[in-house]
């Protein structure tokens, strides 16, 4: 049994060595990957390292049964495909705790007026004028669009701050983490009630432009909108219009459309907006520890011939 | 029975009217206060409206038995004193939830790199270079100095994010909200373990300069320090030195020394620092509702001749 791993991350590398022992083949560069792949039963790699060349090499393998991604996304693997019978697994929920913490951090930062305060600080001004607009999540409604592992963790955290949680899910299935669960069709009835809206849905045809001019016009003037999903879930120009006109309270965006946001884009200067550059998952060594937990659990299952978890292809 | 109230806040005024009925005398300006005070049994006022003239008028009353402050501070009342037998009560814990939420918001904002991100945003730059320094409270130690109603609420919230809570209190009495409780004398042993330090102590001789050059030198290079107590609990120049030298991770300050921070002060330009202008308690109508709850509960007790709560003088 040979499992090839290709990651520069020492925390993950060390954990894989502990779990796989002599079955582990560490590839230090792409050339080593190409050399090792034909004899490999499994292949462990982060999607950002999954180059076109590696994609073609994987698609050409005959022995490979399993690809473990050290990330949530798998678009580059889909692009080249994998041989019939090869299972692709991803990092599952390993990124959810930090992404959810980041979403709540963005919501709180905008509610507490930090974008305007940071600007006043840059000017060296003790400016208390934003005080009447400051809010907290307590006794207010937090609408969480997408109630997967990230959405549910956002719900748990916002509830600790005293928020009333409305989760939006396609199934509409009840959850102990939400006070109410609604379906996407009910959004127009619930947008006017929301004090915070957190977007945590995958991007697809049904969620592209989910928050556009019409939806924004239904929101409270004080609403804070957070996007940690994909930029295109919000209509960028409609959001910039609303921020500039002050018809919403503010926004926190970890993702934008376009992304990266282009130099000179109007969104850079929109008021009451905090932009983080698609870094929601980052949390230092803790993130790699969580990813290693998921990858090593699957490595153990693979070695024992058990069913793999977090299957995304196959 | 006559209770004089002097507050421009309509939420509080309406709630007092409900509770006190015909016993309430609403004073719309200082002249009305001076006119009504000699016949008043009780007086309800925010400390920021407690002028020198009002202080002297209160000190000269003969009938007044109770002053209810619509705030936590009572320094201006101490300055002029109250007649023998007059009890002064304050807003108690009404401000604690929003101040604690603000403290956690500051901690998260600095941990997530928002000060640097806001600067990059102002320059129109998609700058991901702070990513390796981003942290979350999870599986990390949060040291909370001062374990009163604010400190305990910070503990509850930080624990929801997965933090290990160390509370510092003079009594050293155990709390279900802390994993460990230590006394101030143990601080030098615990500062090197802290990932976040939240200062929530009253300012007195024992807490002035509590975090100075020596204490900062004991901290982790990644530590985030939050002050929602009083500015002088931290030695400002020692903090600015540490931020500028990068020997700590960052800081979030709602209070400063001097306060307001003077134009051109070096702290305005210190890196990885977020300054909010002493507004931690602000949370819109919710704050006034919480203050009204406390004031009306005491008003009911006073009318029924019961013992008052949140007594600060008397």
Could you read off the pLDDT of B78-131 as tens digits, one per residue? 888 899 999 999 999 999 999 999 999 999 999 999 999 999 999 999 999 999
CA nearest B271 in A: which residue? A122
Instruction: Tell me what pLDDT residue B187 has.
Output: 98
Half-sphere exposure at residue A100, Cβ-oriented, CA atoms within 13 angstroms: 25
pLDDT at B66: 98
Buried b (16+ CB within 10 A) or exposed e, A18-28: ebbeebbbbbe
Contact B126, A261 (CB under 8 A): yes
Q: Which residues of B touch A117 (CB under 8 A)?
A: 274-277
**Residues sharing a CB contact under 8 Å with residue A195, sequence separation 6 or more, in sequence order:** A135, A137, A140, A141, A142, A163, A220, A222, A223, A224
- Tell which residue, B307, B105, B66, has the closest CA to residue A274: B105
Based on the fold, state whether residues B56 and B113 are members of the same structural domain: no
Same domain? For B168 and B303 the reply is no
Same domain, B149 and B224: yes
Contact criterion met (CB < 8 Å) for A118 and B113: no
Name the residue facing A97 among B102, B119, B138 (closest C-beta): B138
Looking at the 3D structure of chain A, how many domains does it have? 2
Q: Which helix (H) or strand (E) holds B117?
A: helix B114-122
Q: Indicate yes or no: CB of A124 within 8 angstroms of CB of B265.
A: yes
Q: What is the CATH number of the domain that holds A30?
A: 3.40.50.720
Q: How many whole angstroms separate alpha carbon B160 and alpha carbon A163?
A: 14
Return the axis-axis angle of helices B149-160 and A149-160, rounded to nearest 10°. 170
Q: How far apart are CA A115 and CA A112, in angstroms?
A: 9
User: If you compute the radius of gyration of chain A from its CA atoms, what whole number of angstroms results?
Assistant: 22
- Do B175 and B124 lie in one domain? The reply is yes
Of B98, B109, B268, the CB nearest to A109: B109
Is B251 found in the same domain as B113?
yes
Whole-number Cα distances in Å, B172 to B145, B150, B201, B204, B218: 11, 16, 14, 18, 22
The answer to whether the CB of A94 falls within 8 A of the CB of A294 is yes
A288 with A267, same domain?
no
Q: Are B87 and B100 in a shared domain?
A: no
Residues of B in contact with A109 (CB under 8 A): 105, 108-109, 114
Look at residue B158 and tell me whether its pLDDT is greater than 90: yes
Domain of A76 in residue numbering reads as 3-94+284-313
Shared domain check, B101 and B155: yes
Q: Are strands B196-199 and B141-145 parallel, antiparallel or unpaired?
A: parallel
Query: Do the chains contact at A268 and B115, CB–CB below 8 Å?
Result: no
Same-domain pairing of A121 and A197: yes
The pLDDT value given to residue A79 = 86
Is the pLDDT score of B74 beyond 90? no
pLDDT at A73: 80
Closest CA to A102 of A214, A254, A305, A284: A254
Mean pLDDT by 10 residues, chain A (314 residues): 95 96 96 97 93 95 96 86 94 96 98 98 96 96 97 98 98 95 98 98 94 98 97 98 98 98 97 97 94 97 97 92
* B278 part of the active site: yes
State residue A270's pLDDT score. Answer: 98
Q: Which of B159, B259, B265, B301 is catalytic?
A: B259
Q: What's the order of all strands across the beta sheet hosting B273-275?
A: B180-182, B164-168, B141-145, B196-199, B224-227, B250-253, B273-275
The burial class, CB within 10 Å (0-12 / 13-18 / 19+), for A292 is buried
**Residue B227 parent element (H or E):** strand B224-227
Is residue A256 located within the same domain as residue A123?
yes
Contact flag A160-B162 (C-beta cutoff 8 Å): no
Note whether B148 and B258 are same-domain residues: yes
Per CB-CB distance under 8 Å, the chain A contacts of B136 are 97-98, 101-102, 283, 286
Q: Which residues of chain A lie closer than 8 angstroms to B130, CB-CB?
A: 279
Residues of A with active-site annotation: 230, 259, 278
Cβ-defined contact of A105 to B101 (cutoff 8 Å)? no
Q: Which two tokens stand for residue A117?
A: 């305060």
Nearest to A124 among B117, B263, B279 (CB): B263
- CB contact under 8 Å between A101 and B161, yes or no, is yes
Nearest-angstrom CA–CA distance, B196 and B215: 14
pLDDT value at residue A297: 97
HSE of B197, CA atoms in CB hemisphere, 13 A: 32
User: Using an 8 Å Cβ cutoff, are A68 and A301 in contact?
Assistant: no
Sheet with A87-89, edge to edge strand ranges: A24-26, A3-6, A42-45, A66-69, A87-89, A311-313
Residues 6+ apart with CB under 8 A from B24: B3, B5, B16, B17
A103 CB-contact burial (10 Å; exposed 0-12 / middle 13-18 / buried 19+)? buried
B161-209 pLDDT, tens digit per residue, is: 999 999 999 999 999 999 999 999 999 999 999 999 999 999 999 999 9
Closest residue in A to B106 (Cα–Cα)? A109
Q: Is the per-residue pLDDT at B71 higher than 90?
A: no
Question: Contact B8/B14 with Cβ under 8 angstroms?
Answer: no
- A145 and A91 Cβ atoms separated by less than 8 Å: no
pLDDT (0 to 100) of residue A118: 98
pTM as predicted: 0.93
Residues of A within 8 A of B274 (CB-CB) are 114, 117-118, 121
B243: burial class by Cβ within 10 Å (0-12, 13-18, 19+)?
buried
For an interface test with A, give the residue of B109, B121, B257 to mutate (most A CBs within 10 A).
Answer: B121
Distance CA B120, CA B128 (A): 9
Distance of alpha carbon A33 from alpha carbon B269, whole angstroms: 47
Contact A138 B97 (CB under 8 A): yes
Query: Would you say residue B75 has pLDDT above 90?
Result: no
The active-site residue out of B112, B133, B265, B278 is B278
The DSSP bridge pattern shows strands A180-182 and A250-253 to be unpaired
Q: Do B279 and A113 touch (CB under 8 A)?
A: yes
CB contact under 8 A, B263 and A125: yes
pLDDT in tens, B202-254: 999 999 999 999 999 999 999 999 999 999 999 999 999 999 999 999 999 99
A278 CA to chain B: closest CA distance, Å?
8
Residues of B within 8 A of A139 (CB-CB) are 286
State the Cα–Cα distance between residues A314 and A152, nearest whole angstrom. 27
User: Do A54 and A127 reside in the same domain of the chain?
Assistant: no
């Amino acid at each position: 049994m040979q499992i090839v791993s290709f990651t520069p991350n020492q925390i993950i590398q060390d954990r894989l060595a502990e779990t796989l022992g002599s079955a582990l083949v560490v590839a230090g560069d792409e050339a080593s990957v190409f050399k090792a792949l034909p004899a490999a039963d499994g292949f462990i790699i982060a999607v950002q390292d999954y180059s076109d060349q590696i994609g073609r090499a994987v698609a050409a393998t005959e022995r490979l049964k399993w690809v473990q991604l050290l990330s949530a996304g798998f678009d580059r693997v889909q692009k080249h495909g994998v041989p019939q019978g090869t299972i692709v697994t991803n990092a599952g929920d390993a990124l959810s705790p930090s992404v959810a913490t980041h979403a709540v951090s963005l919501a709180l930062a905008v509610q507490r007026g930090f974008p305007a305060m940071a600007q006043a600080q840059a000017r060296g001004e003790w400016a208390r004028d934003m005080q009447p607009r400051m809010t907290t999540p307590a006794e207010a409604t937090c609408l969480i669009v997408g109630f997967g592992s990230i959405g549910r963790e956002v719900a748990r955290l916002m509830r600790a701050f005293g928020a009333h949680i409305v989760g939006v899910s396609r199934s509409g299935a009840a959850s102990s983490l939400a006070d109410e669960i609604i379906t996407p069709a009910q959004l127009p009835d619930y947008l006017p009630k929301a004090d915070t809206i957190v977007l945590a849905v995958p991007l697809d045809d049904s969620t592209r432009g989910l928050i556009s001019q019409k939806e924004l016009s239904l929101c409270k003037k004080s609403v804070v909108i957070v996007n940690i999903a994909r930029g295109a879930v919000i209509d960028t120009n409609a959001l910039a219009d609303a921020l500039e006109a002050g018809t919403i309270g503010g926004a926190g965006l970890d993702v934008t459309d376009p992304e990266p946001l282009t130099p000179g884009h109007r969104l850079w200067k929109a008021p009451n907006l905090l932009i983080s550059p698609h870094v929601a998952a980052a949390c230092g060594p803790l993130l790699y520890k969580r990813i290693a937990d998921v990858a090593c659990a699957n490595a153990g299952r693979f070695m024992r011939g058990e069913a793999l978890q977090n299957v995304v292809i196959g």
